[in-house]
Amino acid sequence: MTRDLLPSEELWPAVHAARRSLAEDLATLSEAQWRTPSLCDDWDVEHVVAHLTAAASVGQWRWLRSIVAAGFRPAVHNERRLREHLGATPAETLRRFEAVVHSTVAPTRDTAAYLGEVLVHGEDIRHPLGIEAEPDLNALTAVARFYAARDFTVSSRSATKGLRLRATDGPFATGEGPEVAGTTLALVMAMAGRRAYVEQLEGPGVATLADRIG
């Protein structure tokens, strides 16, 4: 039976499972595939993997020092930390990612946000490569609820304000207003600002959501 939200003690195991799944997919890539542009502007597949390694390696105090040194510009902070974990070859970048699969390091205790980061960036990689995956529905639902409740690393709450979101494959549903319906994965990716997934949604609120995420 599907739960609508993972208990807090199961969030980190879900993060680890999502990383393992992604690492397995990455192990099959060719050199050319590692250079494929991801859904993240200006980053190819290898850049996104290095970013995920950095995210699993930077705790609270190091994150604070880094963001201050970056002039409170998240893009500058992310690029600097990414470069630290980018290997000389894709194989080395992958080994560095595999080494942090079971990490529980994070700047804050908002574990659902870091679960979302792995799930969303996993799709940022897989979608352009045409790799199909089925992320755990319970994990996706936990992220969908977090995104609908807060603007954290993405402006997800702002993007969906005044809309009714309804998953067609699980228990996630929230909000009042024109409906946006689709799979939990498509809703999570759209809330994270990925327009590539908007076409998988339906309902009178889709146009509004698409305008908001630009």
**How does residue 209 score in pLDDT terms, banded at 50, 70 and 90?**
very high
Evaluate if residue 95 carries a pLDDT over 80. yes
Q: What is the pLDDT of residues 18-72, one digit of tens each?
A: 999 999 999 999 999 999 999 998 899 999 999 999 999 886 656 667 567 657 6
Q: Between the CA of residue 28 and those of 15, 21, 107, 114, 117, what are the distances in Å?
A: 21, 12, 31, 25, 22
Q: What is the pLDDT of residues 134-173, one digit of tens each?
A: 899 999 999 999 999 999 989 999 999 999 999 999 999 9
Interatomic CA distance for residues 124 and 189, integer angstroms: 9
State the pLDDT at residue 77: 62
State the pLDDT at residue 61: 54
**b/e burial code for range 121-136 (CB count within 10 A of at least 16 → b):** bbbbbbbbbebebebb
Architecture of domain 8-129: Up-down Bundle (1.20)
> What is the number of H-type helices and E-type strands within the chain?
11, 3
State the pLDDT at residue 66: 59
Evaluate if residue 76 carries a pLDDT over 90. no
Evaluate if residue 3 carries a pLDDT over 50. no
Instruction: Find residue 164's DSSP bridge partners.
Output: 179
Domain ranges of the chain: 8-129, 151-213
Q: Which of 154, 140, 159 is nearest to 18 (CA)?
A: 140
Instruction: Find residue 175's DSSP bridge partners.
Output: none
Mean pLDDT score, 4-8: 61
Which tops the pLDDT comparison, 158 or 4? 158
Mean pLDDT score, 119-126: 98
